[in-house]
Structures are given as structure tokens and as C-alpha cells.
Amino acid sequence: MYTTDLSGKGKAETAAAEDPAMLATFEARVAADEFIEPKDWMPEAYRKTLIRQISQHAHSEIVGMLPEGNWITRAPNLRRKAILLAKVQDEGGHGLYLYCAAETLGVSRDEMTEALLSGKAKYSTIFNYPTLTWADIGAIGWLVDGAAIMNQVPLQRTSYGPYARAMVRICKEESFHQRQGYEIMMHLAAGTEAQKRMAQDALNRWWWPSLMMFGPPDDKSPNTEQSLRWRIKRDTNDELRQKFVDITVPQAEAIGLTVPDPALKWNEERGAYDFGDVDWEEFYAVVRGEGAVAKERMQARQKAWEDGAWVREAARVHAEKKAVGNRQLAVGAR
Amino acid sequence: MVSALPPLADYAARLGDDSLVLGQRLGEWCGHAPAIEVDLSLSNVALDLIGQATHFLGLAGAIEGAGRDADKLAFHRDVMDFSNCLLVEQPNGDFAQTIARQFLFSHYQALLFEQMAQVKDERFAAIAAKALKEVNYHATLASDWVVRLGDGTDESKARMIAGLDWMWRFTDELFAMDDVDAAAIAAGAGVDKAALRADWDARVDAVLAEATLARPAARRAIVGGRVGRHSEHLGHLLSEMQFLQRAYPGASW
């Protein structure tokens, strides 16, 4: 659901220490749009960048289950409840494939989980905002999944094979999520006054955080250049943000909702919308873990992990008992 | 209070309410389960149950013929008109308690739907036949966890025993028969639930044995769900589930 690198300024990985001949071959393959596979040689910095990006993406899917999961028990009718359950389940599935994709780079799921729970690893800033009304479920599908698609469609051609292939399936599902979110908003916007108010309020609250999902502006994005060269990324943050605004504004207008940006204006010359400045101070605060419900999100993940420890342990011990039993059976059968 | 629905509609509503209330309970786990795979499997079961509820409550409304659809029944009845069994409304508790509830209920539901898939009334038979495939998977999933937890660590065994102990008093109600059941059988839609008991005992006992767990001791049954006499838990479940429909009367979603 989120793929922008959130590592701090100045921490950009470099490939300085690698064997120049190996590096040259690698870079030529990437430049020729070949996929890099787990068994292939790759620069250490490429591997690290990918682990960070894919695991951040996986964590975002898992933490992202919480704001929407918050409304499963309160969904307004049976159809919406079933759709939301299926959607949140998809997000969990995405987390699972992405952890698997990251594991091909030599990191375990437990290590990644540990990094998330200790606060060392980041996840998308968007999930540190609360879901207050049912319209937020519509806004998340429409805007958040819409922004995610914008980020992820190019990643189907990312240079690392397992990540690219995971993205093909994820994009298909995200596209359904985006449509169901927009359909919720469309329904609310055509509903009672109270429902319209709910829809507009959700757009007001989710618009700017959605624009932040593309990450810092290009001149402040330390890893963009290297990632573009290695085709881990295929477009810059600002290019994707502009594309999102251009596609989303007419969708808002079509259902009679107002994008909460007084500076928003069609620019005939550029063939694109001009829009106001994102509050980057807020973005960096949320990245630092100061988002409105950041503590609740981390607490929920930590609680699930700690409360589930005895279950995972029981499953492990039981599997061992079975394995021993099977070995004994095999010996007895000889 | 006796349900306001006519007997055959009430029979369908009982089936729908069982699935709805259990689906609602499982939905509470979403995002909070012990592992991602478990989260996905519980959501999957919840999704199946919400689907069953939609079909059975839709059928209840159609039989009643008063213009109530599945949503109207799900979101606009109070506790005394809900007719699910007490077992499904029990709180999730820890994972072992959730599994105990699922295990006891899914084996019952599997046996019930095996029979219902054969009844003369095609509406009931069709829903049961479709749901049976899902429910067999639920029963297998829950049984596997009963075995893992029962024959896992000392802690997991103690928790599994406690979970079964919490749920056991509500199991007799699953097989209790009354006038609504008799009317449904007479109409070619119902199943003799009392006759399922022996097979249920055998299935449950086999899993408990593999899990190295003793069958919980027989105890005085707690009943009442079928006629709207519920535990205190159901009112809270409904107030959460029905919130939007109640807060915005007449709105469409």
C-alpha cells in the first residue's frame, strides 16, 4: 500500500565498495530492464534498499488493517461488511507476499516484525490518522488505495523479480479496493445531508495525508536518484503526486465533493492542476512517530504479537512433536 | 418474548442469526490475531458466515412477506427478537476460547447442513449445500487448532481446557428441538437436530482424544437463545453492529 522510502536524510545507500566489474554487469542488466532474481549477484546497497522498501511496504499493509478493521464490526449493512472483511483480508495477504518477497533477500519475517514492533522500521504515515466515521472507509479506499496504486503500478516493472511479481497481484486487488472506496463515497455524496457532510469531512481530513503518501518532495528525497537508476523506483515522488491530483480532482467534482485546497487550479499551459503546499512539518512529525494515533497503532500490533506468543509457541511445539512421532513411525516401519 | 416471525421464517432467522452473530464476533479479531495466517483464516470464516447470514435472513424476510430484507432483520431487531444460540454470542476471550466456540459450533453446523442439503424445500437445501463446503473447512480449521493447542505447551493446553469449559454449557442448546423445529420439519425444510447429537459427540470426542484433552464434564445446560433470552453479551454486540443504521434512520449505504 505504500512504497516511498522513509529513511532519514543523508542515509542514501551507495555502491562505492562493490567490485566494479560485477557492478557494471549488474547495472547493465538493470538498464536493459532485466529482472534481478534472488540467486543473482547484487550490490549490497541494492539489497539493503530493497529490504527496507519491501518490508516498509509489508508493515504498511499489516498496520493498515487496523484503521479499516476498526469499522468491520460497525459496517452499515451486510454487503458492506462482507466487502470490508474481504478487503482487509486482502491487505493481510499483501503483507504476507511482501514479507515473503523480502525473505528472498536474506531477512526473516521475525526480524522484520521485531524491527516494526521496536519502532526501528517505518510504515506508511497515512495509517497514523484515525478512522472516525464510515465515510473514512470510503476515503481510504478511494484516496489511500488510489495513491497506493499510483505508486505501485510502476513497481510491476521494478528491477527485483519477486517484488515486481508480488506487485502484479497486489495491483489487481488494490484497483478493486479503490473502486469500492469511491463507490462508498459516491453513495454517501448522493445520500442524506448528514451523509454528505460525513463524506466531505472525510475528504477534508484524508486529502493532505494522501498527498503525503508519495513521500517528500524530490529535492528532499535522498534515495530517489539511486533508486531510479537501479529501477527500484520508476517515477519520482513529485511526478506521482501530480498524477494523483490530476486524476482525483475530477473524481471529487463528479460526485459533488470539494477538494480542501484553495490553491487548487487547472493550469492550461501545463495541462495539469496547480495545488497548494503540503505541510511537510506535519509529514516529518508523523514519520517520527508523532501521528495522531501512532501510539494506538503500535500498541495494537505489540499487543497482538505478545498475546499471540503462546499460540505461536504451541504451534511450534506441536509441529515438533508431530515430526518426532513421524520419525519414530518411520523407524518402526523399517 | 416469542419472535414475531412466523415459524418457517423464524427457522430461517435462527440459522441466519447463528451465522451473523458468529461472523460478527470473528470480525472483532481482524488485525489482532496471533499471526497473519491466523488473521486471514479467521476473516475468511467470518466472510463465509456473513454470506450465510445474508442468504438465510433474506429467506426469512421473504417467507415472512412483510417487506423486511436481510439488512432490515440484521440491523433493526433488538435482543429479544434475535434467535441465535447462546454459544455463538459468547465473547472471543483468548484465542483458545475463540477456537473452542468455533470447534463446537462448526461441527454442529456441518452435521446440520449435511442433512439440510437433502430437505425438500429447495431454498433451504440450496443454501445449506453451498454453506456445507465452507463449514467443513471451518470444522477442519478449528479441529486442527484444538489439536495444536491441546497437544502443544502446558500453557496452551490449560487455555484450551478453559476455553472449552467456558463454552461447554451452551452445547446442549444446539440440539434442542421445539415447535419451530417441528413446523420446519413438517414443511420439508427442517432437520431433526436431536438426531445429530451422537455424530457430533463422536466427531468432537475424536478430536479431543487427538488433542490429549478430556471431554468436559456434563453440566446443567444454559438455554434460551432460540426464544430471545440471551446472555448480556448480545446487547453490546448488537449496539456496535447496528450503530449506523440506528443513528441515521432511513439512510441508504
Per-residue pLDDT band for A14 (boundaries 50, 70, 90) equals: low
> Of B39, B53, B152, which is closest to A92 when you measure between CB atoms?
B39
C-alpha distance from B195 to closest chain A C-alpha (Å):
32
Q: What is the pLDDT of residue A225?
A: 82
Residue B158 or A326, more confident: B158
- Amino acid code (one letter) for A166: A
**What chain A residue is nearest to B54 in terms of C-alpha separation?**
A78
Residue A211: pLDDT above 90? yes
**What integer pLDDT is reported at residue A334 of this predicted model?**
65
What's the pTM? 0.95
For residues A227 and A38, give the distance between their C-alpha atoms in angstroms, rounded to a whole number: 18
Instruction: Give chain B's radius of gyration (CA, Å).
Output: 18
Question: Cα Rg for chain A, rounded, in angstroms?
Answer: 22
Chain B residue with Cα closest to A198: B248
Q: Is B50 within 8 Å of A313 when comparing Cβ atoms?
A: no
Residue B20 to chain A, least CA–CA distance (Å):
9
In tens, the pLDDT along A247-281 reads: 999 999 999 999 999 999 999 999 999 999 999 99
Residue type, A101: A
Share of chain A above pLDDT 90, in %: 86
Pick out chain B residues at pLDDT < 70.
Answer: 1-3
Identify whether the C-beta of residue A223 lies closer than 8 Å to the C-beta of residue A5: yes
CA angle, B78 as apex, B72 and B83 as ends, to 5°?
85
Q: Are B171 and B219 in contact (CB under 8 A)?
A: no
Q: At what angle do helices A294-307 and A44-63 cross, to 10 degrees?
A: 90
d(CA A147, CA A140): 10
Instruction: Identify the pLDDT of residue B60.
Output: 98
Please determine, for residue A96, whether its predicted confidence score (pLDDT) is greater than 80. Answer: yes
Report pLDDT digits (tens) over A23-75.
999 999 999 999 999 999 999 999 999 999 999 999 999 999 999 999 999 99
| Cβ pair A140, A67 in contact under 8 A | yes
Pick from B40, B47, B240: which is nearest to A92 by CB? Answer: B40
Residue A234, pLDDT score: 83
Of the residues B17, B98, B160, B244, the best mutation for testing chain A's interface (the one with the most A CB atoms within 10 Å of its CB) is: B244
H or E element: which one contains A228?
helix A224-229
At residue A7 the predicted structure's pLDDT band, cuts being 50, 70 and 90, is low
The chain B residue lying nearest A99, using CA atoms, is B36
- How confident is residue A9, by pLDDT bands cut at 50, 70 and 90? very low
What is the sign of the dihedral through the CA atoms of A147, A153, A157 and A163?
A: positive
Cα distance from B220 to chain A (closest Cα, Å)? Answer: 31
CB contact (8 A) between residue A308 and residue B251: no
Rounded to whole angstroms, the Cα distance separating B40 from B32 reads: 11
pLDDT of residue B1: 39
**In terms of pLDDT, which residue wins out, A4 or A118?**
A118
Chain-chain contact of A81 with B27 (C-beta, under 8 angstroms): yes
- How far is the CA of B153 from the CAs of A319, A323, A324, B210, in angstroms? 11, 15, 15, 15
Confidence band of A230 (pLDDT split at 50, 70, 90) = confident
Q: What is the pLDDT of residue A76?
A: 98
Q: Which residues contact A27 (CB under 8 A, 6 or more apart)?
A: A229, A230
Comparing C-alpha atoms, which of B243, A151, A20 is closest to residue B251? B243
Q: Check if A127 contacts B (Cβ < 8 Å).
A: no
Q: Which domains does chain B have, with CATH numbers?
A: 7-213+223-247 (1.20.1260.10)
What are the C-alpha distances in Å from A96 to residues A100, B59, B129? 6, 38, 32
**A124-181 confidence digits (pLDDT tens):** 999 999 999 999 999 999 999 999 999 999 999 999 999 999 999 999 999 999 999 9
| Measured distance CA(B31)–CA(A112) in Å, rounded | 17
Which residues of A fall within a CB distance of 8 Å from B34? 304, 307-309, 311-312
Q: For residue B223, with 0-12 CB atoms within 10 Å meaning exposed, 13-18 middle and 19 or more buried, which class applies?
A: middle
DSSP A253-285: HHTT---S-TT-EEETTTTEEE-PPP-HHHHHH
Question: Residue A10: what pLDDT?
Answer: 42
Instruction: Examine the pLDDT at A233 and tell me if it is beyond 90.
Output: no
Four-residue CA torsion sign, A182, A263, A245, A284: negative
Could you identify the residue written with the cell 529490504?
A: A51
Q: Which H or E run includes A52?
A: helix A44-63
Distance between CA B24 and CA B85 in Å, rounded? 14
Three-state DSSP string of B182-242: HHHHHCCCCCCHHHHHHHHHHHHHHHHHHCCCCCCCCCCCCCCHHHCCCCCHHHHHHHHHC
Q: Kindly list the residues from chain B whose CB atom is less than 8 angstroms away from the CB atom of residue A309.
A: 34
End-to-end CA distance of chain B: 31
pLDDT at A30: 94
Q: And the C-alpha cell for A238?
A: 513529485
What pLDDT, on the 0 to 100 scale, is given for residue A21? 94
Dihedrals phi, psi of B171, to nearest 5 degrees: -80, -30
Question: CA B94, B95, B98, B100 torsion: positive or negative?
Answer: negative
| Chain A residues within an 8 Å CB radius of B53 | 78
* CA dist., res. A250 & res. A256, Å (int): 10
Q: Does A77 touch chain B (CB under 8 A)?
A: yes
Q: Do B251 and A191 touch (CB under 8 A)?
A: yes
Contact B181, B190 (CB under 8 A): yes
Cell representation of residue A45:
546497497
Size of interface A-B (CB pairs under 8 A): 140
Cell 418474548 belongs to: B1
Determine the distance in angstroms separating the CA of A62 from the nearest CA of chain B, rounded to an integer.
7
pLDDT at A11 over 60: no
- How many whole angstroms separate alpha carbon A156 and alpha carbon A165? 7
